[in-house]
Chains A and B, each alone.
Chain A
Amino acid sequence: VRPARPPRPHRQAGRRARQVAGFLTGVLLLLLVVIRWSRAESVEEPLPPGKAEAPMPTSKGLPNVVRAAVQFVDVRGVDENAQTFDATIDLRLRWEDTSLRGHELIEVSGDAADEALAGIWVPKVELANLEGDPAYRERGVVISRDGSVELIERVRGTFHTPFRVKRFPFDRHMLEVHAVVRGKTLDQVVLDFVQDDVAFSRARDGIEIDGWSPTVVDLARSPVPGFRGQFHAGVVAGLWVERDWTGVLAPVFIPLFSSLLIPLIAIWLNKVEDGEFAVDAFELANVLIGGLFAVIALNFTVNGAYETVANGDNTATRLFGLNYLTLGLSLVVDIVLFRFNVAKRLFGRWVQEQTFLVLLWAIPVLSMGTGIAVVAAAACG
């Protein structure tokens, strides 16, 4: 009989390691199953209140008419560089659902409103130009006995809106809120508005926006294209605001008109003595080059502060153009008249002298006149 071999220590250790590994693998698998299960659970969570796919009312035929209105409760700031504004708005939607007729009057807000809306059809109206998630959102609902539903959604957030600054600083803009129906085409749901919605759509009394004056709110239909040539209903509510032009007078327009004087100074500094120019053209060219740098620096400053006016055709870019043009014209005068005496060579010293005397007042009148016309055109346009 062969004696039983004593268990080898290294084999025991290997078996234990396998047991531990198996245990860990089991735990890992269990964890994976739990994670998978929890994810599946989260997917199968009921849709948030109001998003439930309750059947769309069709008893009155299609499309369902949803009346839309937007009230601007507060506008905290306008950032034209980012083309956004921060606002709190009330989006009011009203529709009729005959299946709700005869129910008790419901008038609730907050969580209770979400609960009340959970079981009924609610049009999926999205604020299409809301950037990111809203900072605040609350709903209030009134469901009347006759089946009419009034949903007011208060949203605070940042909205994207285009700024067109051709008439800067006399420009006016529409701070737009785009309400768009998602998931249903124009044949199924339309957004519309009547007098009562227009009356609701206004800026709350006492709204103050730094640098801007709010005026009236306009509503307009604005369908948006969907798949396969279909369209979704949309309404644009816009609060018209006018820029307070006195606010940009000091930082933009006074420097722009002041810099216009630099090339003029280069001409005014010279004088004619016995048919010859008294100041050397080189010194005047230095003044002009200094002016060029000043205008470039001003250009950078204005473009940094008002990015929207940096591009395109507007009052500021036109005045910058006028500055560069006047600098160029003065440089031409400096070179042609003062340096090479072209007028004297062609027509004699008296013509040169008279040309200089005319330029002394003609260039300032024309450049300042053009500058004033540019501003006046923006103010009138």
Chain B
Amino acid sequence: MSFRRSAPAVLIAVSVVVLIATGIASNRMSSGLIASVEESRFQLMRSILVNSLGDAESKALARAEMIASLPNVQHLLRTADREAMFDETGRMFEIQRDRFGVDQAQFFVPPSVSFLRINAPDKFGDDVASFRPTVVEAFKTGESIKGLSISRSGPAVFGIAPVRDDLGDIGFVEFGLDFAAVLDGLKARYGLDCALFMEEKPLREIATGMGGDVLTDENRIGKYMRIHTTHLDRMKELVADRDIMSGERTYVRDAAGVPHGVLVLPAKNYAGKQIGVIVVAADFSGSRGASSETMVWQALLALFGIVLSAGAILIVIRGMIVLPMREVANKLAAVAAGDRTEEVAGVDDMCDEMKDIARSVEVLRSKTEGEP
């Protein structure tokens, strides 16, 4: 074993291991911080989406309750005067549709028969019990209900309120807010890209009034149909079959070279049954970039640590110990071999401890000088 090689190798190896371990630990800590930042962003996205949907449900219900409280509406529903009801509410619906994203409004009479669809006045008289559990539940309880649902015109955010007069219950009025308007609002206000996917089977069975351009092969992803998206190209890159098949989840994926945080939330109706999936995506390039950049700088710091400690070890061990000791050892070997002509060189360049040894060798050389 050579001290000249082994000692620096051991010390350098130890310092390399320590520095790499420190670097990894430091990286784990900063990654944890960035992960918690991203988690809080996911939480924020979730809150924004849930609150926006809650607001939309409340707005739909508020409209329904406002209309339900109008005496003339109560009278017209009581007298079953469909034409007068349309005249009374048609203009109101037009403004609500054009300016506030309301795309459905409907009156029901017992047991659960559509009395008037203001958005499609030609279609009435059908019993919706088979495909509108919300309406059935409302008639059953007699109370207001709000939530997501699929109607003949497609999925929407609904609020349904009872219409009553002094004589008792008459029926229900329902308002449905366009899902697309809610998601477009999120895009415009918060820069979040959103997509709504609904199960194909109930869509085909219930939403017979939906435009044919929605239920196409291009929009099919597994058992879901893409109903609306705020950025089709981006969402195509961000969402694949497997992503929306398994409940709520979050992940980060690149779209057009930019990392996006993607939140997948199940869309449930008032009863808690999943009827679709809502996907929200936000630009995560800031946190991802910071994470990668931090890793690079940490690696550089580790490199600095390794190089500087290795350099210091080599300088100290070789410059202060090995080389002076080799000089002393050579001279001691020469004395032992009978060569006592040369003094130990560079004694002044040695550290104190080494100087003592060199001087001892010098004493030995001078004492034995002249001996055969």
Contacts and interface: CB of A to CB of B under 8 A. Distances in A.
Contacts of A199: 232
A118 interface: no
Interface string B179-191: 0110010011101
B295 interface: yes
Contacts of B188: 192-193, 220-221
B311 A358 contact: yes
Contacts of B98: 60, 96
Contact of B319 (A355, A369, A376): A355
Interface in B10-66: none
A220 B311 CA distance: 55
Nearest to B189: A221
A352 B324 CA distance: 13
A142 to B, nearest CB: 18
A354 B293 contact: no
Nearest to B300: A373
Contacts of A348: 319-320, 324, 346, 348-351
Contacts, number: 115
A350 B303 contact: no
Contact of B349 (A202, A349, A376): A349
Which range holds the interface residue count of chain A?
35 or more
Contact of B299 (A195, A349, A353, A373): A373
Interface of B, helix, strand, loop or mixed by DSSP? helix
A215 B318 contact: no
A240 B256 contact: yes
Interface stretch (B78-86, B200-208, B223-231): B223-231
B289 A362 contact: no
B307 interface: yes
B357 to A, nearest CB: 15
A340 to B, nearest CB: 16
Contacts of A376: 296
Nearest to A167: B289
Given A216-B233, A348-B348, A369-B300, A377 B320 contact: no
Contacts of A198: 187, 230-232
Contacts of A195: 180, 184, 228-230, 232
Given A216-B231, A347-B320, A365 B303 contact: yes
Contacts of B351: 348
A366 B293 CA distance: 18
B314 A358 contact: yes
A370 interface: yes
Most buried by A among B95, B257, B292, B311: B311
A220 B188 CA distance: 6
Residues of B in contact with A, size category: 35 or more
Interface in B290-316: 290, 292-293, 295-297, 299-300, 303-304, 307-308, 310-311, 314-315
Contacts of B315: 351, 354-355, 358
A298 interface: no
B231 A60 contact: no
A344 B230 CA distance: 71
A206 interface: no
Contacts of B349: 275, 344, 347-351
Contacts of B323: 350, 353-354
A348 B319 CA distance: 8
Contacts of B152: none
B182 to A, nearest CB: 11
Contact of A380 (B184, B295, B324, B346): B295
Nearest to B234: A216
Contacts of B230: 195, 198
Given A193-B188, A358-B311, A369-B300, A350 B95 contact: no
B99 interface: yes
Interface string A176-198: 00000000000000001111001
Nearest to B311: A358
A132 interface: no
Interface in A240-263: 240, 242
A172 B307 contact: no
Given A350-B319, A354-B318, A60 B303 contact: no
B289 A349 contact: no
A359 B307 CA distance: 10
A381 B297 CA distance: 11
Interface string A209-233: 0000001101011000000000000
Contacts of A357: 314
Contact of B307 (A218, A352, A362, A381): A362
A289 interface: no
B316 to A, nearest CB: 8
Which of A240, A352, A359, A380 has the most chain B CB within a 10 Å cutoff? A380
A344 B191 CA distance: 64
16 contacts: A60-B95, A60-B98, A60-B99, A172-B257, A193-B184, A195-B228, A198-B187, A198-B232, A347-B319, A350-B320, A350-B323, A350-B346, A362-B308, A366-B307, A369-B300, A381-B293
Q: Which 3 A-B pairs have the closest CB atoms?
A: A348-B349, A380-B292, A351-B319
Interface of A: 60-61, 65, 96, 172, 192-195, 198-199, 202, 215-216, 218, 220-221, 240, 242, 275, 344, 347-355, 357-359, 362, 365-366, 369-370, 373, 376-377, 380-381
Given A195-B184, A220-B188, 18 more contacts: A61-B95, A172-B258, A194-B181, A195-B232, A198-B230, A198-B231, A215-B256, A215-B257, A348-B320, A348-B349, A350-B319, A351-B320, A354-B314, A357-B314, A366-B307, A377-B292, A380-B292, A381-B290
